[in-house]
Amino acid sequence: MENKLWIGSHVSFNKTDQLLASVKEAISYQATTFMFYTGAPQNTVRSEIDDFKTIEAMKLMKENGIDIQKVIVHAPYIINLANRKNLDFGISFLIQELERCDQLGMKYLVLHPGSHIGMGIEEGIKNIVDGLNEVLKKYHGNTKILLETMAGKGSEIGSNFQELKMILGGVTYSNRLGICLDTCHLNDAGYDLTDFDKLLEEFDQVIGIDKIGCIHINDSKNEKGSHKDRHENIGFGTIGFAPLLKIIYHQKLENIPKILETPYINGDYPPYKQEIEMIRNQKFDENLIEKIISFYSE
Ligand code: FE
Ligand code: FE
Ligand code: ZN
């Protein structure tokens, strides 16, 4: 059987067409998966899910070779489980998001572990563990939480494998947790993506490859170890095309969905259709940006 590349990008989920709009956008990029927020990432306003739209969306996914098991939801970044002050809000909103995932038929919710905001890493990790334990005690649905590897910007927790391991180790039902790798974040956190086999080996030793549920594929605007977290288009940043391609086609990561979160060109044009095409061609196109601009301004 031919191995399929599970690649897609971040897409939008709008109020009127909801998941159907997300699927249509993903198809327009020739993607085989996608990722979305179930509402604005920076606030708690959530429209009620229209099951008729969801059914239509599922049908469209099937017809276009998108496997719903590989589709990813991203939790809003207003949830910060590391901060004790907002823990109750974070817990209840996270449970609500997990329930929305179930209603939409989704299996994975990516979550930023949180920022300790001056309380210290140890205290932050303790709060995250308490928060996740509370969430998983109350929520019994099918959606798995994937903790994302972070760049280490500000007081972000989860910029190294040890911190993520401590979280997984403290959570009672850690079989309902997994990890989402983000290539830009790994680079900015100080990991060397040009020696990915070594990185993966280290990850396997500390956490275990089987825990990886998703990979965010982004180039980075900044040097390794910069702790900046600014994504760049594929092949145009400090990581470069070849190392990213190697990760995308890595045998041990074959069935894992790869999601692009690269920046829009000039803030207007989504780069995903052309980036996905370039990835499938396995050849860097130095004129990609111009191509995208002319595609959308015609
Ligand atoms: Fe993220
Ligand atoms: Fe990411
Ligand atoms: Zn990022």
Give me ligand 2 centre to Cα 228, in Å: 13
Give the separation between CA 35 and CA 8, rounded to whole angstroms.
7
Q: Is domain 7-297 annotated with CATH 3.20.20.150? A: yes
C-alpha 21 – ligand 2 centre gap (Å) = 21
Cβ atoms of residues 269 and 296 within 8 Å: yes
Residues 23 and 66: beta-carbon distance below 8 Å: yes
Q: How confident is the model at residue 43 (pLDDT cuts 50, 70, 90)?
A: confident
Distance 186 CA to ligand 3 centre (A): 10
pLDDT digits (tens, 9 = 90+) for 4-28: 999 999 999 998 999 999 999 999 9
Task: Report whether pLDDT(1) > 50.
Answer: no
Give the pLDDT confidence score for residue 71 in this predicted structure.
98
In order of 33, 36, 112, 128, 224, the CA distances from 121 in angstroms are 34, 29, 15, 10, 22
- The answer on pLDDT for 277 being more than 80 is yes
Could you tell me what percent of the chain has a pLDDT over 90? Answer: 95
Tell me which ligand sits closest to the C-alpha of residue 151: 3
Asked if 146 contacts 178 with a C-beta cutoff of 8 angstroms, the reply is: yes
Spacing, Cα 76 to ligand 2 middle (Å): 12
CA 22–ligand 3 middle distance (angstroms): 21
Average pLDDT, the chain: 97
Question: In this predicted structure, what is the pLDDT of residue 2?
Answer: 55
Give the distance (Å) from ligand 2 centre to CA of residue 233: 13
CA of 97 relative to ligand 3 center, distance in Å: 20
The tens digit of pLDDT for each residue in 72-119 reads 999 999 999 999 999 999 999 999 999 999 999 999 999 999 999 999
81 CA distance to ligand 2 middle (Å): 17
Could you say which ligand is closest to the alpha carbon of residue 41? 1
Measured in degrees and rounded to the nearest 5, phi and psi for residue 254 equal -50, -50
The ligand with the least distance to the CA atom of 229 is 3
Give pLDDT tens digits for 126-145: 999 999 999 999 999 999 99
Residues with a beta carbon under 5 angstroms from ion ligand 1 = 148
Closest listed ligand to the CA of 188? 3
Distance from Cα 34 to the centre of ligand 2, integer Å = 13
pLDDT for res 42: 84
User: How many whole angstroms from 230 Cα to the centroid of ligand 3?
Assistant: 6
* pLDDT (average), residues 272-287: 98
SS3 labels along the chain: CCCCCCEEEECCCECCCEHHHHHHHHHHCCCCEEEECCCCCCCCCCCCCCHHHHHHHHHHHHHCCCCHHHCEEECCCCCCCCCHHHHHHHHHHHHHHHHHHHHCCCCEEEECCCECCCCCHHHHHHHHHHHHHHHHHHCCCCCEEEEECCCCCCCECCCCHHHHHHHHHHCCCHHHEEEEEEHHHHHHHCCCHHHHHHHHHHHHHHCCHHHEEEEEECEECCCCCCCCCCEECCCCCCCCHHHHHHHHCCHHHCCCCEEECCCCECCCECCHHHHHHHHHHCCCCCCHHHHHHHHHHC
* CA pair distance 122, 285, nearest whole angstrom: 45
Q: What are the boundaries of each domain within the chain?
A: 7-297
**Residue in 60, 132, 141, 66 with CA at minimum distance from that of residue 108:** 141
CA of 249 to the centre of ligand 1 (A): 22
Neighbour-count burial of 133, counting CB atoms closer than 10 A to its CB (0-12 exposed, 13-18 middle, 19+ buried) = middle
According to DSSP, the residues that pair with 108 across neighbouring strands are: 72, 144
**What number is the average pLDDT over the span 174-195?**
98
Overall pTM surpassing 0.85 (yes/no): yes
Rounded to an integer, the average pLDDT of 147-153 is 98
Q: What is the pLDDT of residue 298?
A: 77
Separation of 184 CA from ligand 3 center, angstroms?
7
Cα–Cα distance for residue pair 218/120, rounded to 1 Å: 29
From the CA of 297, how far away is ligand 2's center (Å)?
A: 28
pLDDT digits (tens, 9 = 90+) for 188-223: 999 999 999 999 999 999 999 999 999 999 999 999
How far is it, in rounded angstroms, from Cα 223 to Cα 187?
7
Ligand 2 centre distance from Cα of residue 259 (Å): 8
**261 C-alpha vs ligand 1 centroid, how far in Å?**
9
What is the distance in A from the centroid of ligand 2 to the CA of 285? 24
Indicate the pLDDT class of residue 260, thresholds 50, 70 and 90: very high
